[in-house]
Structure 1
Amino acid sequence: MLGIDNAVDNEFAWRKSRFISEKKYEEMKRYTVKPGDVIITIMGTCGRCAIVPDDIPTAINTKHLCCITLDQERCLPEFLHSYFLYHPMAREYLEKHAKGSIMAGLNMGIIKSLPVRLPDLSEQSRIAAEIDNLRNEAQRLEAIYQQKLTALAELKQSLLQKAFSGELTAKSAEAAVEEVTA
């Protein structure tokens, strides 16, 4: 069974294992999830989504997910995934319609009525690829940023240690800072 944890990072991830009996599956098989389906969280962390991978074993989704099976001759999963996550109209719509007195929630009716503008498949593919490139570049920059933060923290410790031991000079401190910030 797939749940919120499989989509919470906006990419499909295998997390907590949940199983049902074959008899229960037969009762619930209309909720079977297929490769290329787009799952979207509808409770708690509303609007998180992921594309079901090609290697998925037989699985169903829990009531906390909405599973969308697409006619891939009209809409690519990568495009819809990006649309849910980044298109201002989709984000605004989902935030506006998430309801609940204790916890935000969506339902299938709300998701079905989400306005989606579908360009032709080649444009959908181009948009999805461009968003993927931007996401990869953002992750690369974030990794560099984290490395710089780590280096600065280490520099601070080193300078403090030298300061307390009397080894620190203004020139050596400037050189160390210049090396880390370059």
Structure 2
Amino acid sequence: MTFVLILTEPRDFHSYAVAEALRLQGVEVALWHGTDFPSRQKASVWLGGEGFGLEVSGPGIELRDARFGTVWNRRPSNPVLPEDLHPADRVPAGRDCQHFVWALWHLIAPDAFWVNPLSPIPTAILKPYQLRLAREAGLEIPRTLCSNDPDRIVEFLRASPGETVYKSFHAGSWNGAGDLPGAYPEGS
């Protein structure tokens, strides 16, 4: 069976029409609405001794290690952060979500035919993608999880003996206020 992934947005009528026409021809189609991440979608990438895997789940999408033959880069859309996210967290969270989604796009269909190929995103900033390439090159990668899925994160932590390291996709800074210490003291 042929599998097609369409990167789109909820208001893109044409992607729905094309998906339905393909389904009538016996093609399995998944529509991935980027605006649903991270509020309505969960995504995880894991690597380590057990290999590599990824999943994306949410309304209308269930991708589990899917390898699509074709990807239509129709209207890829940026993640939309929850409205109740603290204003101080919006910039780093938005940057991390964008980098994670870009990495997912590179990982979900590495050998697919792309209609409108991905624009050249500097892959050096895509940590999950870089980790997979490092593993394929023979480097030993410790058990790693990149995820916004609380259940996956708890499962990973419970299965990890000892301490666990957390790292953001993007470096950040924090200036102290008043008596609170910061990564960069005020005036530095």
| TM-score category of the 2 structures, normalised to the smaller one | under 0.3
Greater share of strand: 2
Greater Rg, structure 1 or structure 2? 1
Compute the TM-score of the two structures, normalised by the length of structure 2. Answer: 0.23
**Larger relative contact order, structure 1 or 2 (CA cutoff 8 Å, min sep 6):** 2
Greater share of helix: 1
Compute the TM-score of the two structures, normalised by the length of structure 1. Answer: 0.23
